[in-house]
Amino acid sequence: MSKGVKIVTIGGGSSYTPELMEGFIKRYDELPIKEIWLVDIEDGKEKLETVGKMAQRMWDSSPYDVNVHLSLDRREALKDADFVTTQFRVGLLNARVKDERIPLSYGMVGQETNGAGGIFKAFRTIPVVLSIVEDIKELCPNAWLINFTNPAGMVTDAIIRYGKWEKVIGLCNVPVGAMMAEPELIGKTLDELVYAFAGINHFHWHRVKDLQGNDVTSEIIDKMYSNDSGIPANIHDTPFFIEQLKQMNMIPCGYHRYYYRSEEMLAHMLKEYNDPDVGTRAQQVKQTEAELFELYKDPNLDYKPEQLSKRGGAHYSDAACETIASIYANKNTQIVVSTKNNGAVPDLAPDDVVEVSAYVGAAGARPIAFGSFQPAERGWLQLMKSMELCVEEAAVTGNYGLALQAFTMNPLIPSGETAKRVLDELLIAHKKYLPQFAEKIAELEAAGCIVKGEVAKDLD
């Protein structure tokens, strides 16, 4: 890295890229970037060019001399990279629309990282990310891979478990949101509190202490019930039952709503799904993205527009930039990341990927040992991690029985004939991106299985 840092972003045509650029510009002093490569696929070429030009304008208006290279050739870009970030979406937003609408058409949660949709996002993404890892091993074996492609936990786990690549850190913006919102509830700043997170991606809990070492989690919980903060924009704000939170004396992440308030979350999603003026989250995001790209086309725009912050993933890219800078400058910043457990969560295996508070520096993420959970959280966590392991193995092997096991275990999918129907329809709907399941899909099609969900018609 002596001649300056080379960063490669796979899925560079994403609307998030300007946030990433802003993060790098802000940290240039500690992270002296030389070149940035934005990589995308043919289907994303137009967006890549739009956002790529915008990115170059941002650097040009900064005091730093950084070139933004655009490429459709991943291997060319990866050569000698120092950091690779992944933010791609296999099948683009249309695939997400299917992940949402097909389950919802059968009355089940349809969501990007949870339930049937989350499982299929993993099925599409894991094989691609493993092929990227093979390229990294060959072309830039010293690089760190910073993954924020969802489902970030399973993807990171698969990179280590199946890709045998340990230099990876998975990121998520959810913990950042909690730490931004909660302190003021009890009249503190973040600097005045000590946060400890543990669990898995989109399924973690945290505890908080003050600077006298006193646990203030219970105090924050009390305040949350008069002041409804700390909830990511893309999660409906049904409150948790306070009796439950007081019993656990921890604060769950927003996504726990799907599991702790299934009834209300499903009702809300179905309402949006059934309202043609609203639509599911992916449909809303498509609209937001279209607007963002219109803005990006403005040749005078050379800074991250305000509107981007309203996109659900705010702070994602900032977390990525901070992680990269912490590794590069050995800053030992405390960040909540997906990384190999190593015992930090004793209720899971040492080689499982978990999402925990960690200190990030030159040696990567060093997770802080959290200790054992009480039975309720332990049981949930062990179920969810086991489900992830089934999903990952099915994603790698194309084993249908295992996919069905994952569906059956998933608490957001009521097991039975309809669940199997949804599994089969999603296989067919995503056929193009699921070569590992080709044989089963052919068998289903031969048996006359078709996508009945009303989303199929306009998306391929």
Give, as ranges, the residues between 62 and 101 that touch a copy of itself (CB under 8 A).
Answer: none
Helix (H) or strand (E) holding 169: strand 168-170
Rg (CA), the chain: 21
- The span of 32-40, 218-226, 292-300, 403-411 binding a copy of itself (CB under 8 A) equals 403-411
Which residues are bridge partners to 337 per DSSP? 356
Nearer to a copy of itself, 61 or 372 (CB): 372
C-beta separation of 322 from 335 below 8 A: yes
- The span of 269-277, 317-325, 334-342, 445-453 binding a copy of itself (CB under 8 A) equals 334-342
16, 255, 258, 316: which is the annotated catalytic residue? 255
| Annotated binding-site members for Mn(2+) | 172, 202
Per CB under 8 A, the list member of 63, 213, 276, 448 interacting with a copy of itself is 213
Pairing of strands 5-10, 333-340: unpaired
Nearest Cα neighbor of 110 from 360, 442, 422, 373 is 422
Per CB under 8 A, the list member of 297, 371, 432, 435 interacting with a copy of itself is 371
Let me know if 296 is a catalytic residue: no
Give φ, ψ of 443 to 5 degrees: -65, -40
CB of 326 to a copy of itself, least distance (A): 12
Which residue has 């200190």 as its token pair?
359
Helix (H) or strand (E) holding 400: helix 400-409
Nearer to a copy of itself, 97 or 324 (CB): 324
CB of 63 to a copy of itself, least distance (A): 26
Nearer to a copy of itself, 10 or 360 (CB): 360
- Coil, helix or strand at residue 213: coil
Taking CA atoms, 144 is separated from 5, 323, 353, 379, 427, in Å, by 12, 10, 16, 33, 33
- What is the contact mask toward a copy of itself in residues 169 to 198, using x (rule: CB under 8 A)? ----------------------x--x-x--
263 near a copy of itself, rule: CB under 8 A = yes
219 near a copy of itself, rule: CB under 8 A = no
| Annotated binding-site members for substrate | 96, 150
Nearer to a copy of itself, 35 or 352 (CB): 352
CB of 213 to a copy of itself, least distance (A): 6
- The span of 45-53, 290-298, 407-415, 443-451 binding a copy of itself (CB under 8 A) equals 407-415
Joined together, the tokens standing for residue 289 give 């993205």
Nearest Cα neighbor of 206 from 166, 243, 248 is 248
Distance of CA 397 to the CA centre of its chain: 23
Neighbours of 298 (CB within 10 A): 11
Q: Which residues are catalytic?
A: 255
